Amino acid sequence: MASLSLRNIHKSFGKTAVLSGIDLDVADGEFTVIVGPSGCGKSTLLRTVAGLEEIDKGTIKIGEIDVSRLPPSERGIAMVFQSYALYPHMTVYANMSFGMKIAGASPEEIDQAVRAAAETLGLTALLERKPKELSGGQRQRTAIGRAIVRRPRIFLFDEPLSNLDASLRVKMRHEIARLHETLETTMIYVTHDQVEAMTLADRIVVLREGCIEQTGSPHELYKYPVNRFVAGFIGSPAMNFLSGFVVESRPDITTVRLESGAMIQVNGVAGALPPDTPVTLGIRPEHLTPGGDHNLIETQIKLVEPLGSHSYVYLDTPDAEDQLIFRASGDFSFAKGDRLTVCIAADQCHLFGKDGRELRQKPSGNLTTSQGDH
């Protein structure tokens, strides 16, 4: 077990800067999830921590030790990949024991570690099988088992469940949560799955174009995104964005006029905004309600997706930058083409300035943020 500290990490491939000054502290035993669009540098960041890529600049510390220039084998890290990366000609047992064997462990030591890990992961009956005789989930479990037997100080996971079907993903997600609870080891986990990020993480790191936009608990990021990028990235379906102009701004209420002329009141904005300031109003699908008597916008239903417990209703309106998504009850009875007036909850709005920064007042407290406006 160990903490991880990254300071000013830079990494380029040729002329392409992939990581541009990453500062990150992961506490001992913490489960940190890294999210961000494809190509933003998530895998590269994990690979630099593992020592599979050399950094151009910066410092990587594991515990108190500077490992920036150490080879992967001396960093005390185990990495689990999306592709499993198992040796196809070796049995599960041999795959899991390979690393220990190379490291010079005794056969007794190896046997004990492999059997314990197999027991934890439900692989005991499969130890003599080869990877091609395993299901996707069993392969991924073997890859995790191989990581466990090395007793790493830090686990790195790079989209480990992406190749599994939906129900297996849920099962493996629970297993990974349980594993973290049992092993109490520091884990850094890359995913593009919102549910994995929200449910597994003690802390989420949002990465964009090689820079950290924000770090915080899942709740902090969902509730208090520091900018429009994080607001749009965390949450599924994504937050709705509507553009408009400030009409009037008082300490507690700002009035925004949308494209259609609709007047929307937004609570809690830091400082007064001058009239005519261009702003983007953000509202999550669950914070729209049908009908009401103020903060209304007129829409037409484009599509209804009934999911049983609730429905997602896609609305056309000139006010939304894209479409507007509304989370309705499971028995929502309107249909495509119907007109619908929806109410925007004044105390649930976000307001972003031209540079993308959140203008709303945040409650003072422990929001860990990083400056990020692109």
Residues near Mg ion, by CB under 5 A: 43
Q: Does 18 bind ligand ADP (CB under 6 A)?
A: yes
Choice between 35 and 297, CB closer to Mg ion: 35
Instruction: Decide whether 46 or 92 has the Cβ nearer to ligand ADP.
Output: 46
- Regarding 164 and contact with ligand ADP (CB under 6 A), the answer is no
Nearest approach, Cβ of residue 53 and ligand ADP (Å): 7
Residue 105, SS3?
A: coil
**CA-wise closest residue to 359 among 295, 284, 278, 289:** 278
* H-type alpha helices, 31-133: 42-50, 92-102, 107-121
The CB-of-14 to Mg ion minimum distance in angstroms stands at: 18
Q: Which does 275 bind (CB under 5 to 8 A by kind): ligand ADP, Mg ion, none?
A: none
Q: Supply the minimum distance, in Å, between the C-beta of residue 336 and ligand ADP.
A: 36
Q: How far is the CB of 299 from ligand ADP (least distance, A)?
A: 35
Among Mg ion, ligand ADP, none, residue 41 binds (CB under 5-8 Å by kind) = ligand ADP
What strands lie across the sheet with 240-249, from one edge to the other? 263-267, 253-258, 240-249, 278-283, 350-352
Q: Are 69 and 58 in contact (CB under 8 A)?
A: no
Contact 190, 46 (CB under 8 A): yes
Using rule CB under 6 A, residue 13 touches ligand ADP: yes
**Does the footprint of ligand ADP cover residue 97 (CB under 6 A)?**
no
Please identify, using beta-carbon distances, which residue of 53 and 358 lies nearer to ligand ADP: 53
> How does 152-161 read in b/e, with b if 16+ C-beta sit within 10 Å?
bbbbbbbbbb
For the CB of residue 212, give the shortest distance to ligand ADP in the complex, in Å: 13
292 binds, among Mg ion, ligand ADP, none (CB under 5 to 8 A by kind): none
The verdict on 15 binding ligand ADP (CB under 6 A) reads no
**Prior bond to 237 cis, omega within 30?**
yes
Tell me, residue by residue from 36 to 75, as one string, x for binding to ligand ADP by CB under 6 A and - for no binding. Answer: x-xxxxxxx-------------------------------
Cβ closest to ligand ADP, residue 36 vs residue 99: 36
Structural element, H or E, at residue 215: strand 211-216
- Give the helix ranges, DSSP H, for 193-325: 194-200, 218-223, 228-233
- Measure the CA–CA gap between 316 and 242, rounded to whole angstroms: 12
Please give the residue ranges that form the binding site for ligand ADP (CB under 6 A): 13, 18, 36, 38-44
